[in-house]
């Protein structure tokens, strides 16, 4: 288990990622200060930028954990640069999650980094690699909600509070959904190393459709209601009201 073949250039943060962070910071500042003439556009750019940043960190967590678990090819693939253009499936990793947010206000991340699992020994390491991504969403959710439970938003424009609440909703929903034991999601990756060979072979053909199946299932009113009740319960526990997140989504969809 070594990282000796990982060059410094393989770990250098990508200008693409830094550019996304800059857009997020500027539009977040514009929303925070009320400087934006059209707050809806600023909220859209701020939330979308922050969401993409969290997607990059999600995949970075997978890659970094895999690197330290034995897959020394991770660096050469560009996964440690946080560049979303380096992902194996940029459509699944960035485009579809953003579409999911726009269509349904749901934080549903996709699959991205290709890990050479045969280089990794030990079932616990395989499970930890899969869990690293959604655990990043958990940390991101805590960071987004910290200003609420620290009462640090007094005097801040309601647009920023709503945008931050909506971003927290995306992180909470992403963590919950990605921990589901559904093929194609990280939750299944956590338990897969512990399944029998025959069970894994039977489930394998369904893996490419797991993400779309979950998204389709969320359009069923009863399932959608139960899911968002759970998300709302978590947000309330973090002192974020559901109406704030709803207001953030309304602002996010400025064109409606």
Catalytic residue set: 59
HSE-up of 113 (CA within 13 Å, CB side)? 34
- Distances in Å between the Cα of 194 and the Cα atoms of 51, 127, 188 are 32, 9, 10
Instruction: Supply the Cα-derived Rg of the chain in whole angstroms.
Output: 19
d(CA 10, CA 146): 33
> What φ, ψ does residue 195 adopt, rounded to 5°?
-90, 160
Cβ proximity of 105 and 165 under 8 Å? no
- What 8-state DSSP symbol labels residue 13? P
**Which residue in this structure is represented by tokens 């009863």?**
222
Query: Which whole-number Å values give the CA distances from 195 to 157, 162, 236, in the listed order?
Result: 50, 42, 36
| Inter-residue contact 175 to 134 (CB < 8 Å) | yes
Name the percent of the chain in helix, strand, coil, to the closest 5: 75, 0, 25
């Amino acid at each position: 288990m070594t990282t000796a073949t990982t060059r410094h250039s393989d770990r250098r943060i990508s200008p693409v990622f830094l550019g996304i962070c800059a857009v997020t910071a500027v539009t977040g500042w514009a929303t925070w200060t009320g400087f934006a003439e059209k707050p809806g556009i600023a909220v859209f750019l701020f939330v979308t930028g922050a969401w993409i940043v969290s997607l990059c960190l999600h995949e970075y967590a997978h890659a970094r954990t895999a690197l330290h678990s034995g897959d020394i090819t991770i660096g050469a693939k560009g996964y440690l640069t946080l560049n979303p253009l380096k992902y194996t499936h940029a459509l699944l990793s960035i485009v579809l999650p953003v579409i999911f947010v726009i269509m349904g206000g749901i934080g549903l991340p996709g699959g991205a980094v290709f890990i050479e699992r045969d280089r990794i020994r030990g079932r616990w390491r395989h499970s930890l690699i899969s869990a690293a991504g959604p655990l990043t969403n958990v940390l991101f959710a805590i960071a987004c909600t910290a200003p609420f439970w620290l009462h640090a938003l007094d005097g801040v424009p309601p647009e920023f509070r709503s945008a931050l609440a909506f971003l927290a909703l995306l992180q909470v929903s992403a963590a919950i959904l990605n921990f589901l034991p559904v093929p194609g999601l990280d939750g299944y990756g956590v338990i897969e190393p512990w399944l029998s060979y025959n069970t894994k072979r039977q489930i394998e053909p369904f893996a490419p459709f797991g993400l779309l199946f979950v998204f389709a299932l969320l359009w069923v009113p009863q399932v959608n209601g139960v899911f968002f009740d759970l998300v709302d319960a978590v947000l309330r526990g973090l002192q974020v009201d559901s109406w704030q997140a709803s207001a953030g989504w309304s602002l996010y969809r400025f064109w409606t």
